Structure 1
Amino acid sequence: MQANICFIGAGNMSRSLIGGLIQSGYSANQIWVADTSPQALESIKQNFSIQGFNDNLTAIDSADIIVLAVKPQQLKSVCLSIADKLRQTKPLIISVAAGIKTDSIQDWLGGSLAIVRTMPNTPALIQAGATGLFANAQVNTKQKDDAENILRAAGLTIWVDDEAKLDIVTALSGSGPAYFFLFMEAMQSAAEKLGLDAKTAELLTMQTAFGAAKMALESDDNCQELRRKVTSPNGTTERAIQSFEQSQLNLTIEKAMQAAHQRAQQLAQELGE
């Protein structure tokens, strides 16, 4: 039996998750959404033929699962507004709001509730995401399965056993797409300076990135071994790799991820107040 799911917030992440759920066979009759924006609400209702509400309390009335898909800065006020109701109904709470810890959500809701905190990334918007999940002590096995099934509608899901590790997930997969976009941007720019036109450089860059990622996902070899296989002795790839190593690319990436990790920890503290 499928659970009743209510999404609070009709933004892009809700659209992606709802679209993925319905595409995988979930009944649209058991999914509804709440949002204060009439335009956003009407759009998502029409796209997926689901129920929509402009009042959170009405929307959550019969929900088994509530997905908090609002901006981090809005989460506290949303939680406070529905806290009394949730203490009565005790649904599973899934948060996709970046950076806010389960303890903060629990404090705002004022009850011993089952909460799953998630860290999706932007490719989740096209069902190609990577999402880290953490469950607090109140979440049971079935609720973990339910949460995983919902987030899997947007791509890969990985559970962590320590909430602090979600800050590492943020630095890796959460911020990671931007790292690759930057690297692709640099490759395209270099190719143009060497003489390719912009469109050709762009297409070759994107297809190369896509192919490399697909190959890494589908191969039994790890990334180190795949790199070794494509790096012929005294060839063009080896020369480029040597240049990267001389520029201490690995150290640069490590420092960047440490900076992202540190900022994730700071934001969790700031947003949770």
Structure 2
Amino acid sequence: MTTIDLNSDLGESFGQWRLGDDDAMLKVVTSANVACGFHAGDPQTLLLTCVRATDQSVRIGAQVGYHDLAGFGRRFIDVEPADLTADIIYQIGALDGLAKSTRARVAYVKPHGALYNAIVHHTDQARAVVTAVRAYDDSLPVLGLPGSEFLREAEKVGLRTVTEAFADRAYTPEGTLVPRSHPGAVLHDPQEVAARVRRMVVDGVVEAVDGSLLPITAESVCVHGDTPAAVEMASQIWTVLDAEGITVEPFA
């Protein structure tokens, strides 16, 4: 692999409550997963994020999630599939409207938090999200975990699927993400994270929490914008990959 996309969850501040350094992250990522107001982000924050992403030529993705501001979208909600489909269409449309006002557009869809993790195995919810994307714009790629029900359902209906790896999250031996409630679920050392991403991209493996090596193929790597030292992590990743001749650019 000679290229890799670097994405980050952005636009997650709300009113006077600030989360992460979006301006700095937009200088070191190639794709921005912008919140859509359901798990985080108010309209002014989302519009400003779209403006700044457009100014930096960073691709805008709709980061859709459960309707859960209080829980930051990190709590599973057993929502009916039809309701979830409508929720996802609503979120994509809202962000797309804001993006179009900046002469850009939503270019892909990535589920957030508990929804992302749920649709690894939850077929009904995975299918509901796929139905929503297909209904809104079936040319939109979707980002998800390799081997997930979400990507399987998306492939069935012809959506472009993009496999994703996580720079700052620990993996279980089964290839899923360690829940954030568990110790060590989030990685914090920028040099360790950068070396880990190099191994993912160059060697095609990631070390799980039990020390086993998992094969991994990813077109995009995520650095969470709310992780402490996220900007330094992303910068270190650029440096390490550049040394290997790997180009960081948006996925095709």
Sort the TM-score into its range (normalised by shorter chain).
0.3 to 0.5
Q: Would you tell me which structure has more helix in proportion to its own residues?
A: 1
Higher share in strand: 2
Name which structure has the greater RCO, CA cutoff 8 Å, separation 6+: 2
| TM-score between both structures, scaled by the size of structure 1 | 0.33
- TM-score between both structures, scaled by the size of structure 2: 0.35
